[in-house]
Amino acid sequence: MFLLMAYDDPARPGHRQAVRPRHLPLLTEACRTGLIRFAGPILPEGGGDPVGSLIVLDLPDRAAVEAWLETEPFWTEGVWLRPVTILRCGIAEQPYLPLPGSPARLP
């Protein structure tokens, strides 16, 4: 499992919103299949538009993450600055509540 942290290119304001219609279907399908375990925007402390993305990917190795990046419009269309941060991670077994927006229900 890997954590991907990517910051938007500040020299391209509005580019995230322009690319988002191509990003969302890929994100939705990857979440539905379990490839993405968590994803969300990085938000500035004082509020405002997103400044980047956090994504937890269930992939076997860094090469697979890099291959996935080549399918991600935020990467291929220059929303994210290069390089992005890729860290190997895990998810602790805990009784987490469902994520906001998740269709999961509490027992």
The DSSP-derived string for 10-43 is TTSTTHHHHHHHHHHHHHHHHHHHTSEEEEEEE-
User: What's the confidence (pLDDT) of residue 105?
Assistant: 59
The whole-model pTM stands at 0.90
| Mean pLDDT value across residues 20-45 | 96
User: What's the confidence (pLDDT) of residue 102?
Assistant: 77
pLDDT in tens, 51-101: 999 999 999 999 999 999 999 999 999 999 999 999 999 999 998 888 887
Higher pLDDT among residues 103 and 54, named by residue? 54
| Mean pLDDT value across residues 4-33 | 96
